[in-house]
Amino acid sequence: MKPPIGSYAVDLSTGQVGRVMGHEGPYVQLRPFGGGREWDCAPETVREATTSERLRAATAYANARSRGEVP
């Protein structure tokens, strides 16, 4: 499965939610919620993120930002 660019997906190998930034060769490129370094995932290890997963990632990022852990 190759989710559309701009959507949010879950890397099943790590459980991390990321925004789909592109498709490079056989891989799907994800960027962490709130920005950061992209990583590549095999298409078979990616699925679309649910609304609750996107909200959980946004809340985790907002909390880390308020604690000064991320810029």
What residues contact 57, with CB distance under 8 A and at least 6 apart? 8, 17, 33, 49
* Radius of gyration, alpha carbons of the chain: 12
Report the distance separating Cα 31 and Cα 29, nearest Å: 7
2 pLDDT tier (thresholds 50, 70, 90):
confident
Q: What percent of the chain has pLDDT over 90?
A: 90
When pLDDT is averaged across residues 14-30 and rounded to a whole number, the result is 96
71 pLDDT tier (thresholds 50, 70, 90):
confident
Q: What's the whole-model pTM score?
A: 0.88
